Amino acid sequence: MKRALGVAAAVAMAVPGPALAKGLTERLQVFPSHPRVGRPVTLQLRPYELGSPAFLGQDFAWRVTAHLPGRHPHRITLVRQTRDPYVWSGRIRFRSPGRWKISVEGNQASVMKFDVPVRRGRPSVWERLERPFIAQTVPFGSRCPTASPDPRGSLSRIGFVGTAWGPGPIYPAGLGNDAPVLRYSYPPAPETGWGDWGGNKINWLRDLAYPGPVLIRGLRLDGPDELRFNDGRLPSLSMRQKGRSNPSYTRVRIPGCYAYQVDGTTFSDTIAFEAKLYGS
């Protein structure tokens, strides 16, 4: 887990890339996905080899540019993170509004291109809460570093029942009491309308010592798959905590090691858990 104060705002746009080399793909995330003119924007790139996090040397030659159609491209330098060497990051400020194009290439790579809409104006509180992900990558097959209970006590401390996973002040109830595990069925029943996304109920609970806004997102730590929220054939990438108790669904397609990221105005926390099929 990691707590951070005053971290730059971020919204995640996850873009799975084409093959860079034999068996190598990447996922690029832009924070925020709808940047504001002149505001700092962070890019995080996670490469994968055959579906597992890929450890690449520091000299791997990423070539990343951003440009408006008909304009000169701006080079974005990606640097391998020290604290998580499976993740590469870079920063840029877009100087004018419009639909910018970002291109990503690697050694012997085909080009990945996608759009980033840039707007004028001040960021909302939700944009300021949408910070880059801080959970560390887990090599495929390694032990999942699941969350520990809050040392201050169980959920009874705030008027509920069960284990308080994570440091608070926001807790996911429904992951079990002995270990944080999301149990789910796959494929989902047709009557759910969930398409190819499984999942199960999670009730998000708030310690009223923190009354401010809360944004909840997540990602898989040992692979490229996404974590999403609530109903629908294509669920949302994020949810906002409403009130003291907020029933929801956590949605996944693949078993593995995942983490929620919970962002408030004074904290950023991660709560790692395992997603497992019923009966496994």
> How does 68-97 read in b/e, with b if 16+ C-beta sit within 10 Å?
beeeeebebebebeeebebbbbbebebeee
How many whole angstroms separate alpha carbon 128 and alpha carbon 133? 13
pLDDT at 14 over 80: no
Residue partners of 220: CB distance under 8 A and separation at least 6: 226, 227, 252, 254, 256, 257, 258
pLDDT at 6 over 70: no
Per-residue pLDDT tens over the stretch 125-152: 999 999 999 999 999 889 999 999 999 9
Band of the pLDDT at 20, cuts 50, 70, 90?
low
Domains of the chain (ranges; CATH) run: 14-129 (2.60.40.10), 155-277 (2.60.40)
How many whole angstroms separate alpha carbon 245 and alpha carbon 241? 8
Local structure of 135: helix, strand or coil: coil
How many whole angstroms separate alpha carbon 110 and alpha carbon 108? 7
Band of the pLDDT at 174, cuts 50, 70, 90?
very high
Instruction: Report the pLDDT value the prediction gives residue 9, as an integer from 0 to 100.
Output: 32
Higher-confidence position of 165 and 280: 165
Higher-confidence position of 31 and 109: 31
- On whether the CB atoms of residues 66 and 94 are closer than 8 A, the answer is yes
pLDDT at 50 over 50: yes
What number is the average pLDDT over the span 170-187? Answer: 98
Q: Worst-scoring range by mean pLDDT, 58-62, 70-74, 111-115, 247-251?
A: 111-115
Q: Give the amino acid at 195.
A: G
pLDDT at 251 over 80: yes
Instruction: Report the pLDDT value the prediction gives residue 252, as an integer from 0 to 100.
Output: 99
Per-residue pLDDT tens over the stretch 90-121: 999 999 999 999 999 887 555 778 889 999 99
What number is the average pLDDT over the span 207-231? Answer: 98
Above pLDDT 90, what percent of the chain? 82
pLDDT at 274 over 90: yes
What number is the average pLDDT over the span 44-50? Answer: 93
How many whole angstroms separate alpha carbon 248 and alpha carbon 52? 29
Residue partners of 214: CB distance under 8 A and separation at least 6: 129, 170, 206, 240, 241, 262, 263, 264
